[in-house]
Amino acid sequence: MNEILQQLSLCIEKGRVNKDSNYPADMKGMPGAVELTQQALSEGTLAQDILNIGFLPGMKIVGDKFKDGKIFLPEVLISARAMSSAMELLKPYFQSGEINYKGKVIMGTVAGDLHDIGKNIVKMVLEGGGWQVVDLGINVNAEKIIDAINTNSAKVVGLSALLTTTMQNMKEIVRKIKSETKDVLVVIGGAPVTKAFADSINADGYFHDPQGMLDYLNKKMSK
Amino acid sequence: MYKISELVNTGKLLTSDGAWGTYLFKKGLASGSCPEEWNLSHSDEVYEIAKSYIEAGSDIISTNSFGSNLFKLSQYNLQEKLSEICQTSAEISRKAAGEEKYVMASLGPTGKFLIMGDVTSEELYNSFKQQAIAFEKGGANAVCIETFYALDEAEQAISAVKENTSLEVICTFTFDKSEYGFKTLMGISPQQMTESLILCGADIVGANCGSGFEDMIEIVKKIREVSARIPIIIQANAGMPVIENEQLFYSETPDKIKEIVPRLIDAGANIIGGCCGTTPEHIKVIAEIVGKFNQGKK
């Protein structure tokens, strides 16, 4: 059983979707993430184990490499694609409650800012790490975020900004979230954002890369 | 009128313009609304931005159309207005530029990844084609395909402009400094970009956004390693944001870039302007330096 899950993890890491895929060249003809997930399920492997032992370690390797600058976005995207294809097969188990997400994260690019690529990458890595992401899109104000926190009973918010002007909007959004909700972690990111800035506006965390945020959430929320 | 690249090939340096997005919010663009829609509903304000750059000394100004692709406009349910928005954006800038100055229509990335199967090449091409045709109708001289990071998407944009209009094609990528030198999000180096974009048919290449003017010097040198002739445009951010006394500002002030711009020119840049955080004051400084260089050449 473990061998299948190890192989599955490798497929996620290398971005191998299914057996018909020509990618990556050195795995041609071999089963991909989809077939291995089907096989594991049919052999009675717990869906939770498939997620934890098969999916997450593969994405973790990719996230760490991206963090260290060893790989670039295409590799992350390819892995995320393999993972999401296989994840489809686990959907019924999430719905039945047999497996659970680690938690819900509300995400959005803050009001006045239209840049969403960074946010979308973080979303992919978090989902690849077993978190459910509620994506509010771009140009999002505090009311919309607070609304989403309440309707989803979420405990984590991720905010993104790429401009100095919109970084300033983050301050007001963080203040409102903190005053109108309880025990919600607010994590911020974006090219111009720094740890010092995060501290100055009372955000709970700043991370330079998606894996940093994922590692933080895994640690913080498992306590 | 010369083409922009022809003018550059006579040895002339040119000044382009500064930031638009930040400027629009300053003029009152509300959160939740579409910046490109302002071409229709707030054309006076958009005109004022264009005019302020002409007055600051820009030889080339862009348009308020960075996010005018089908995918971004659909988020506001404005996809039906694509052609009208694009054409008007060019008309507004043309009005500010007069017949003497150049208009390059801004065309940003869609945010979709071909590699993920989010979108097909045809879908990208069709959006870019519609935009380019409308820009030409509105009186643009060129299309500035900017802030790109992926070669496959850039290829679609360049082909769409080339095959459907007679506009000049300017294409600039955004690079971050990594352990392995300057790379885009997708891992493309300035050298790789230059080789590919020239093959695709770009008339002018370069870099925009990024971490400031200082870093662009290195990027220009890398582009020049590949081609001694291709005209290079650099539109840098005003450095990285810093906080002082609870105020945020960009580190490369107009005064600071006075000593950087000449080095950028020495490295081989032909057209210089700004991106996020730059203002007409930055452009004034650049235009003055560019003017001096041009006089010295004669």
Tell me which residue of B53, B98, B11, B96 sits closest to B285, measured CA to CA.
B53
Residues of B in contact with A114 (CB under 8 A): 21, 35, 67, 72
Of residues B133, B55, B136, the one with CA closest to residue B98: B55
Q: Which of A215, A170, A176, A221 is nearest to A68 (CA)?
A: A215
Helix (H, G, I), strand (E, B) or coil at A68: coil
Q: For the segment A145-154, what is each residue's pLDDT rounded down to a tens digit?
A: 999 999 999 9
Instruction: Tell me the CA distances in angstroms from B56 to A66, A87, B67, B281, B288, one per residue in order.
Output: 42, 54, 25, 7, 10
Which is it for the CA torsion B278, A111, A196, B216, positive or negative? Answer: negative
Contact B241, B192 (CB under 8 A): no
Q: What is the mean pLDDT of residues B5-11?
A: 96
pLDDT value at residue B249: 81
| Interface contact B75, partner A, CB < 8 A | yes
Closest residue of A to B152, CA-based? A74
**End-to-end Cα distance, chain A:** 30
Q: What is the mean pLDDT of residues A121-131?
A: 90
- Contact map slice: A 69-128 vs B, CB within 8 A: 69, 71-74, 77-78, 80-81, 111-112, 114, 116-117, 120
Of A1-5, A90-94, B98-102, the range with the highest mean pLDDT is: B98-102
Subunit contact B115:A74, Cβ cutoff 8 A: yes
Q: How many helices (H) and strands (E) does chain A have?
A: 10, 5
Interface test with A, best of B73, B276, B279 (most A CBs within 10 A): B276
Q: What pLDDT was estimated at residue B298? A: 47
Residue of A3, A12, A15 lying closest to A39 (CA atoms): A3
Tell me if B251 sits within 8 A of B214, measured CB to CB.
no
CB < 8 Å to B31, chain A? 111-112, 139-141, 169
Cα–Cα distance, A90 to A22 (Å, whole number): 24
Q: Alpha-carbon distance B226 to B195, whole Å? A: 7
- Residue A95 belongs to what H/E stretch? helix A73-96
Domain boundaries, chain A: 2-96, 104-221
Residue B88 has pLDDT above 60, yes or no: yes
Q: Give the ranges where chain B is alpha helix by DSSP (H).
A: 4-9, 21-26, 38-41, 43-56, 70-74, 82-97, 121-137, 151-164, 190-200, 213-226, 254-257, 261-267, 280-297
Whether the complex's predicted ipTM surpasses the cut of 0.85: no
At B41, give phi and psi (nearest 5°): -90, -25
Write out residues 184-243 of B within 8 Å (CB-CB) of A. Answer: 184-187, 240-241, 243
pLDDT over 60 (residue A62) = yes
Sign of CA dihedral B215, B216, B220, B225: positive
Contact B183 A72 (CB under 8 A): yes
Residues in chain B: 298
> How far apart are alpha carbons A52 and A56 in whole angstroms?
5
Measured CA distances, B71 to A107, A132, B107 (Å):
20, 25, 12
Q: Which residues of A touch B276 (CB under 8 A)?
A: 162-164
Q: Identify the pLDDT of residue A223.
A: 56
Residues of B in contact with A138 (CB under 8 A): 75
User: Cβ contacts of residue A96 below 8 Å, gap of 6+?
Assistant: none
**Residue B116 near chain A (CB below 8 Å):** yes
Q: Is the pLDDT confidence value at A1 over 90?
A: no
pLDDT digits 0-9 by tens, B12-37: 999 999 999 878 888 988 777 889 99
Distance from CA of B139 to the nearest CA of A (A): 27
Q: Are strands A156-160 and A205-206 parallel, antiparallel or unpaired?
A: unpaired
> Mind listing the pLDDT tens digit for each residue in B138-158?
999 999 999 999 999 999 999
Q: Read off the pLDDT of residues B26-83 as tens digits, 9 standing for 90 and up.
A: 898 877 788 999 999 999 999 999 999 999 999 999 999 999 999 999 989 999 999 9
DSSP secondary structure, B141-179, as one string: SEEEEEEE--HHHHHHHHHHHHHH---EEEEEE--EEET
What structural domains does chain B harbor?
4-297 (3.20.20.330)
**Number of other CB atoms surrounding residue A65 within 10 Å:** 17
- Nearest chain A alpha carbon to B244: A197
Nearest CA in chain A to B36: A114
Q: A80 contacts in B (CB within 8 Å)?
A: 116
Kind and range of the H or E run holding A4? helix A2-14
Contacts of residue A148, defined as CB under 8 A and 6 or more positions apart, other chains included, come to A106, A134, A136, A154
Which of B32, B187, B276 shows the shortest C-beta gap to A139?
Answer: B32
Q: Is A196 on the interface with B (CB under 8 A)?
A: yes
* Segment A69-87 mean pLDDT: 90
**Chain A residues close to B185, C-beta within 8 Å:** 72-73, 117
How far is the C-alpha of B240 from the C-alpha of B252, rounded, in Å?
8
In this predicted structure, what is the pLDDT of residue B156?
98
Sheet holding B168-173, edge to edge: B14-15, B271-274, B232-236, B204-209, B168-173, B142-148, B102-107, B60-61
Of A81, A138, A165, Cβ closest to residue B22: A165
B246 has a chain A CB within 8 A of its CB: yes
Residue with tokens 């919309």: A144
* Contact present, B35 and B80 (Cβ < 8 Å): no
The radius of gyration of chain A from alpha carbons, rounded to an integer in Å, stands at: 18
Averaged pLDDT score across all residues of chain A? 91
What's residue B165's pLDDT? 98
B195 token code pair: 């080789």
Give the pLDDT mean for B157-161: 98
Spatial distance between the Cα atoms of A160 and A167, rounded to a whole number of angstroms: 8
Contact check, Cβ <8 Å, A74/B186: yes
Residue pointed to by tokens 């643009």: B140
pLDDT beyond 80 at B247: no
B253-285 pLDDT per residue, tens: 999 999 999 999 999 999 999 998 899 999 999
Report pLDDT digits (tens) over B180-215.
Answer: 899 998 999 999 999 999 999 999 999 999 889 999
What percent of chain B lies above the pLDDT cut of 90?
84
A2-96: CATH number: 1.10.1240.10
Question: For B185, which residue in chain A has the nearest alpha carbon?
Answer: A73
**Torsions phi, psi for B107 (to 5 deg):** -135, 110
Would the pLDDT of B297 be above 70?
A: no
CATH architecture, range A104-221: 3-Layer(aba) Sandwich (3.40)
Report the C-alpha gap between B32 and A112 in whole angstroms. 7
Helix (H, G, I), strand (E, B) or coil at A185: strand
Domains A2-96 and A104-221 share a fold: no
